[in-house]
Structure 1
Amino acid sequence: MHIQQVFDAAWTEGLSLPLGEAKAASQTVALIDGMDFHRQSDKDAVAHAYQERQRTRVYESLNVRSDGWFSTVTLRLTAIMRHQVICTAYESHAGDRNLGAHDDEWLGVITQMRGAKRWLVWPETTGAPEEIVTRVGDVLILPQGVKHEVSTPDSPGYSVHLVFAITDELV
């Protein structure tokens, strides 16, 4: 389910995120290329690895590795859903390598924070995918096990989205 403009775009873009130079020292960043996850925590090492091979940067478990509003949102979602929720940020540019087509083991509540993201979603196990483009302030609900593939469109050429992954683990 794609819900457009849930949040005001200017407000959403103004929210601080611990990415790039603003990331916490303890925050690990995974650079992904297919199923290869190359993890770094040093800011310079992340920048160098990205320059060597441009890949989506994944800021895993923001809710426990960085302080901010996203930790509070994650805690509230955990309380409401009564399931463990994990917040992860995905940052990419047009042409960055990524996971390719895959499915996830959690229910994803995805919020587009910056730029835009193109999603191919296969709602059925057979048939053609549905194309969805999320823009700043949009929310996409991606059910557990639904095959999808993402890319960053040339315009605007940049994307940051948060995934609030609602797991099967009860709390």
Structure 2
Amino acid sequence: MSTDPARDIAYTVLTALSSAVVPHWELGVVRLAHLPAALPEQWTTSLPLPSDPGARGPDQPVTLVDDCEFQRESDETALAEAYAHRPRTRVLENVGTRCEGWQSLTALHLARVLERQVVCSLYESRPQDATMGWHWDDWDGVILQVRGAKFWRLRTEPDADPHTVVTRPGDVLLLPRGLPHDVMTPDHSVHLAFAVTQHPLGAEPLGSAPAGSVSRPKPADARLTSTS
């Protein structure tokens, strides 16, 4: 191990993510998989995060997201007021380029393994928070649950009932691009989404973040209308 804590953490996380993703990576697309305890629970919970008190840098806004809008705030007072007015999921977009921590190194090396550009964002939510509802993403998601738990409702078949998966600290969830899903937080949840894009390495770097790269189902499609 090195004398750089961030590099040591990234090495451990990347080893687990690579072992999880590579067997489910076919022709540039990830297959749906839930891999419990890919990393030790207590170790994962103790990882430093850019959402920790005092850790968020001045160039890292927080995006409040629901099924109506994405509201970005950098000022703590404005953020607190906006959240109090309408509690919503908090997202720190593109933390891989806005911080120099282990998340950045992990995203960089995962991109090299998969030969795709990878964007890492942090999602934090509580039970009262509004969410995006049923939606699908334009990227393959490598989800690492860091703290708390999250319920994922997955629409694996158009006419079937949703399949529910619960992620806990250390779990990895692989979400294929285009898979309709909805989420629910029982208490408090923090997870990292490593968005594996269709952009190859060497292409022009992406300027958008995963939180903005989602598609919502049409309201007329009753099967995909959120009931929460």
| Range class of TM-score, shorter chain | over 0.9
In structure 2, distance between residues paired with 1:166 and 1:23: 24
Amino-acid identity (%):
44
* 2:59 pairs with 1:9: no
> Which residue number in structure 2 is paired with residue 54 of structure 1?
87
| Bigger helix share | 2
Give the structure 2 partner of residue 92 of structure 1. 125
Query: In the alignment, does 2:60 pair up with 1:27?
Result: yes
**One-letter identity of the residue aligned with 2:195:** A
How far did 1:20 drift? 5.2
Task: Output the aligned Cα RMSD.
Answer: 1.0
Structure whose alpha-carbon radius of gyration is higher:
2
Cα contact 1:2–1:140 (8 A) shared by 2? yes
Which consecutive unaligned segments of at least 5 residues does structure 1 have?
none
Instruction: Please say if 1:161 is aligned against 2:194.
Output: no
Structure 2 stretches lacking a partner, 5+ long: 1-32, 202-228
Higher strand share: 1
Q: Give a deviation string over 1:37-71, Cα, whole Å, max 9, x none.
A: 01111222222211221100010000011220000
Aligned residue pair count: 168
Q: Of residues 54, 74, 79 in structure 1, which corresponds to 2:107?
A: 74
Distance 2:110 2:171 in 1: 18
Shift of residue 75, structure 1, vs aligned partner: 0.3
Counterpart residue identity of residue 166, structure 1:
V
Other-structure match for 1:107: 140
Q: Contact 1:95–1:151 at 8 Å: present in 2 too?
A: no
Greater RCO, 1 or 2 (C-alpha within 8 Å, sep 6+): 1
